[in-house]
Amino acid sequence: MARLPGLDVVSINHLLQDAGIRGKKSFSYICTNKNSHAPLTIHDSSLAAHEIFMRRCIDLAALSAGKVAPNPMVGAVLVHDNRIIGEGHHQYYGGPHAEVNCIDSVNQNDRDLIPESVFYVSLEPCSHFGKTPPCADLIIKNNIEKVVIGSRDPFIEVNGKGIEKLRAAGIEMITGVLENECRELNKRFFTFHIEHRPYIVLKWAQSQNGKIAATPTSSGFSSKRSSFGDVQNKRFYISNEYTNRLVHKWRSEEASILVGTNTALMDDPDLTNRYWPGKSPVRLVVDMDLKLPAGLKMFNDSKSYTIIFNSRQHELPDFTIPMTSAGIGFYQVTHDVSLVQQMVHALYQLKIQSVLIEGGAKLLQAFIDEGLWDEARIITNTGLHVPDGLASPLLNNHTLVREDEVMSDQIHYFANHLHNVHLTS
């Protein structure tokens, strides 16, 4: 594996600012050109060096967002005498783990230094055989004497066993360095394995007067007859084209995307991330009586798998996780039990770790009312007024964590303060 390029001065300053130490005169560093493969050296005995190197692990791990699920994102750094001699991250599902890539990245001239180095990793090394051998065994094999871990792995096959194995081998262990940040990075993974449900993100766009959609009598609303005979309404766009691309980035980061019956019928959405690189999420749609037209886009392309929650039919293939094939599956639910609870349970059983819920208003409100959501991302077009449109959902138990602005769109990010698996945004 080729080494990741060295950091430039700008990125180092950003790293130090995140650690709260920008501008401290006691700090010095050596960094080669960003296009080289020379290692980074940090000199300062008065600073929390463990946090600096762990933050680098987190930055590396974040490079794999949307690429490794259902595995967690993990970054690793190997440090000798405050000099990074190796680094790596888990790059794709089924591929080598961060620990393997980190050790493999060490230059030949530095390989003799591996046993004397400190190994930093954002998540507890695995101790079991899965698609790859145990990473704890790899660390032991390389005679590394000290390991610093960001967070314990909640997966039942690990969950402290990796730490125990390393300690039993006589390796000095430091755990819990930037633990909250490491947990936040893998909030989907932690929610799935601790709360036994997917991480749930709500998203909607609204006008400046709080309308999520136009009605058939609204200005600019029109309808047409589709090729398969039913009347379709022209989609009413609220957010701008730049924000739409951001939404496609959000889609690429989640395992699945869910819409209700009316949204599927009125908008006929693709529900893909065609405007952003990466794998599209599994598409989920509610159609209790299987009345949606067969000609909808999500039923007729090979871009992603589609699952229909309905009350009449249950037919799902034996998936190899993650779901990579196209096609349509049917998951049967009932009318006499909470649909929200049934869908959340279904996604857990299908090992789908996260879901982005994009509408409509009734479906979004159902998740809000049952308290089953972790984040809400609300896009408001400040230049659009819809006098007789459909009202947006109403959040409760929410805390504003961030605001962004993209031209005429304001984006507000909320967290459900009743859930504490993730602590920041």
| Catalytic annotation, residues | 99
Alpha-carbon distance of 398 to 417, in angstroms, equals 6
Q: Is 298 exposed, middle or buried (0-12, 13-18, 19+ CB in 10 A)?
A: buried
- Tell me the DSSP string of 156-224: TTTTTHHHHHHHHTT-EEEE-TTHHHHHHHTHHHHHHHHHSS-EEEEEEEEETTSEEE--TTSTT--EE
- Calculate the CA 249 to chain-centre distance: 10
In one letter, which amino acid is 213?
A
Helix 361-369 / helix 339-349 crossing angle, nearest 10 deg:
80
Q: Residue for token digits 């005679």?
A: 143
- Residue 225's alpha-carbon distances to 214, 220, 233, 269, in angstroms, are 19, 17, 8, 16
In 3-state terms, the chain is what percent helix, strand and coil (to 5)?
A: 25, 25, 50
Torsion, Cα 136 354 312 273, to 10 degrees, reads -120
Under the phi-then-psi rule, with left for phi > 0, alpha for psi from -120 to 50, and beta for the rest, what region is 308? beta
| ω into 360 cis (within 30 of 0) | yes
Alpha-carbon distance of 201 to 212, in angstroms, equals 17
- H-helix or E-strand spanning residue 146: strand 146-151
